[in-house]
Amino acid sequence: METKIRTTMIGSLSVIDDTLGYLWGQGKPRSQLTDQEIEMEQIKEELRTEILNNGNNQIRAASAEINQYDITWNRYRYNSDFKDKEIV
């Protein structure tokens, strides 16, 4: 469960980087960034930290809640009764 939540967080951050990375000069050497790109990179890092902190808090909350239950995993068990039917 933890891995799935963490993968969702990291995947979302990756989409943000891929879509908006041009705003903070993603891929450019630090020495070639404009003042505006440096400012946007700082904002992006603050957002990233907040997203990860919120996600980690949710992981802890979910883990604490799950620990309140007895859980068994039946691993994709599917039972079906097939009855002979007359084809018309």
Quick one: which of 46, 63, 74 has its CA closest to 4? 63
Mean pLDDT of the region 69-83: 72
**According to the model, what pLDDT value does residue 30 have?**
94
The residue type found at 60 is R
Is the pLDDT reported for residue 86 higher than 90? no
Write out pLDDT tens, residues 27-56. Answer: 999 999 999 999 999 999 999 999 999 999
Q: What pTM, to 2 d.p., does this model score?
A: 0.72
**According to the model, what pLDDT value does residue 16 have?**
96
Q: Is the dihedral of CA 27, 32, 35, 36 positive or negative?
A: negative
Tell me how far apart the alpha carbons of residues 1 and 27 are, in angstroms, rounded to a whole number: 33
Cα 58–chain centre separation: 12
User: What pLDDT band is residue 70 in, cutting at 50, 70 and 90?
Assistant: confident
